[in-house]
Structure 1
Amino acid sequence: MRRRLAPGAPFVAAHLSFPQRTDDERETWIRRHVANLVSSGVDPADAEQARTAIAAQVPALTPEQDRGLLEEAGFHDVTEFFSAFTIRGWVGYA
């Protein structure tokens, strides 16, 4: 993607990204995400299905890994511009 952008063009990414130095910390953040879903009106059973799927199948990165991958891809001035529970938004420039 970096090579396809004009020099200086912004690249924006937003997805699951949360601290997870240990399995317990990862589970804590996933539980927070699920609690937010329920408080937003999602049926608790559906939220629990989401928790199970996220825990087993989603290869979420840490914020440090996100920043590192963007910089490794050649983006500069990588900045976290959004954070809400487990969702983070990043902008970097080609």
Structure 2
Amino acid sequence: MTQHKLLPSPFANPEAVASYAEDAPRKVPGLADLHRMVTLLLSEQAPAGAHVLVVGSGGGLELKSMATLRPDWRFTGVDPSRAMLDLARHAVVPFADRVNLVAGTVEEAPAGPFDGATCLLTLHFLDRSERLRTLREIRRRLNPDSGLVVVHHAPPETDIEHWMARSAAFGGRGNSDWARARATGHTMAERLPLVDPAGEEELLHDAGFSDVALFYAAFSFRGWVATA
């Protein structure tokens, strides 16, 4: 789920990421249903036997979900964190014959062409220029008219810290420790190179995607589907 050279150091630490499979569903509203929605959206344009590129695939949660829902699909996942890729390998053991995992950034991914792509909970770690370059590299690897789904933190331009605090509170199991949630939201807003929703859609268009549409919004998280 991590990507490129702005990779936060904890993702490189096996001990720090050991609880990822338990932590992610707690922090991202409706994560299991989100994975189902992603699969459904890609299925609209992907052919039978599709080959899907999963950028930021460490952890393996979306790979496991999509491989379960679509037994006819193959997947190539790429992630720069070897610790996270180890988690992914464990998660996809039942589907190992259909999943290829690559250590590195999207530039290290095969040229394809792929029949669809995802980039979940990843782009908010990249500054604007790196984000655009990553989206262009994904676009370059996709068949014409195939789908891309992206999901990450993209709070409204106004009241950014408040929206990040709401996500932090949700990740803390919705407890009422708002002082702690506000402090966490402030830290996240400072450290993450966040882009507002309008800017995110502009980046997708600039990378060569069309039919950009919002399909998911939950506190500071947003998700879009687009066509190559």
Q: What is the Cα-based RMSD across aligned positions, in Å?
A: 2.4
Instruction: Say if 2:165 and 2:181, in contact at 8 Å, map to a contact too.
Output: no
5+ residue gaps, structure 2: 1-137
Instruction: Say if 1:67 and 1:78, in contact at 8 Å, map to a contact too.
Output: yes
Q: Which residue of 2 aligns with 1:87?
A: 221
Amino acid of the structure 1 residue aligned with 2:152: H
Q: Does 1:30 align with 2:164?
A: yes
5+ residue gaps, structure 1: none
Q: Which residue of 2 aligns with 1:67?
A: 201
The alpha carbon displacement at 1:55 in A equals 2.4
Instruction: Say if 1:20 and 1:26, in contact at 8 Å, map to a contact too.
Output: yes
Instruction: Say if 2:150 and 2:225, in contact at 8 Å, map to a contact too.
Output: yes
Identity of aligned residues (%): 36
Instruction: Say if 1:14 and 1:87, in contact at 8 Å, map to a contact too.
Output: yes
* Structure with larger Rg: 2
Q: Which residue of 2 aligns with 1:2?
A: 139
The alpha carbon displacement at 1:81 in A equals 0.7
CA distance in 2: counterparts of 1:53 and 1:9, whole angstroms: 37
Q: Does 1:15 align with 2:15?
A: no
The alpha carbon displacement at 1:48 in A equals 6.7
Aligned residues: 90
CA distance in 2: counterparts of 1:47 and 1:61, whole angstroms: 21
Q: Does 1:39 align with 2:176?
A: no
TM-score (normalizing by structure 2): 0.35
Q: Which residue of 1 aligns with 2:188?
A: 54
TM-score (normalizing by structure 1): 0.80
Runs of 4+ residues deviating >6 angstroms: none
Instruction: Say if 2:217 and 2:223, in contact at 8 Å, map to a contact too.
Output: yes
